[in-house]
């Protein structure tokens, strides 16, 4: 019996094949991390604004 060299069990491939979902998942994680960093850099503390409260006339004299 002759063994064919085209058989996938014999050294024709370099290493194992990767799961096709690995690359899209890695890209998605990187994009989410970049978006999170971008939103964080744009956010932060806002300058405080004055809040005007109405005070009744009788309390102004005290």
Rounded distance between C-alpha atoms, residue 60 and residue 34, angstroms: 53
Query: Regarding predicted confidence, which is higher, 62 or 13?
Result: 62
Pick from 34, 32, 52: nearest CA to 42: 34
Q: Quick one: how far is CA 7 from the chain centroid?
A: 42
Over residues 23-56, the pLDDT tens digits come to 999 999 999 999 999 988 887 677 788 888 888 8
Rounded distance between C-alpha atoms, residue 51 and residue 32, angstroms: 37
pLDDT at position 8: 52
Cβ 42 vs Cβ 34: under 8 Å: no
pLDDT at position 25: 94
């Amino acid at each position: 019996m002759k063994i064919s060299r085209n058989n996938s069990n014999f050294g024709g491939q370099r290493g194992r094949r990767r799961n096709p979902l690995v690359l899209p998942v890695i890209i998605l994680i990187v994009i989410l991390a970049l978006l999170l960093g971008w939103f964080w850099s744009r956010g932060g503390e806002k300058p405080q604004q004055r809040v005007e409260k109405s005070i009744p006339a009788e309390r102004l004299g005290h």
